[in-house]
Amino acid sequence: MKESCTSISKHAAIAWCRALCLSLCAITPIHRQDHDGDFPSSSDQLVVELQTDDIMNSSSDLFLPKTECDTMKQHRNRLSCMNGVRIKQVLSENMDQATNLLRQAFTFYRDCAGPFPSGISLFLVPVGSNVSANNVDTIATLTSSTSSLVGVDLSVPRKLLLWAYTLVHGHTCSIAEAVKFCEEQAKVCFCI
């Protein structure tokens, strides 16, 4: 019985992580194509790179019906667009969804124990860096040839929380600041 519960928890954690990741992808403005110049110098910029195979592969997927496999292909296509994308504030029409995803990411961070799929990488482009919007999509090249990009070494739930926070606020912060903000928001919700 205990092994059965552990297996269910594992699959639920992976599914929840995938759902959050897909939802964040759906509302993340993709700025790679617009090449709107250098990153602003006022704050660090967060960049996301997703390895689709790592996120979407699971031994449990081998037993999915064909309709679910087709859905998985659509999800893979959405995730594959998220390579070298800098995270900016969502469009105003997506702000409610982004705020809800921030709450969900906080709950995921606080309540879920994993395991989690790998394949979610975040990088910071430091203030004053010479990395432009035109060359962010070559993260692998940049990280090996220069120190302009700094890998964000956090657990998957913390990465998703930081990504969601950046979508809502339009700038990144430390994970401690993001958690503090979410805790304060949770207190406000309980008081109402």
Position 147 scores a pLDDT of 57
Q: Tell which residue, 20, 168, 173, has the closest CA to residue 88.
A: 168
Torsion over CA: 119, 148, 34, 24 (sign): positive
Q: What is the dihedral of CA 104, 106, 112, 113, to 10 degrees?
A: 150
Q: What is the DSSP letter of 81?
A: T
Query: Which range of residues forms the domain containing residue 147?
Result: 2-191
Q: Render each residue's pLDDT in the chain as its tens digit; 192 residues.
A: 666 666 777 778 888 888 899 999 999 998 643 444 444 446 788 999 988 878 777 654 444 444 555 566 667 777 878 888 889 999 999 999 999 999 999 999 998 877 788 889 999 888 766 665 544 545 544 554 455 678 888 999 999 999 999 999 999 999 999 999 999 988 876 554
| Whole-number pLDDT of residue 37 | 45
For residues 58 and 15, what is the distance between their CA atoms, to the nearest angstrom? 10
What are the phi and psi torsion angles at 120 (to 5°)? -110, 110
Least Cα distance to 172 among 20, 48, 55 occurs for: 48
Number of domains in the chain: 1
* C-alpha to C-alpha distance for 38 and 57, rounded to whole angstroms: 35
- The two most distant CA atoms of the chain are separated, in Å, by 57
Tokens of 174: 């430390």
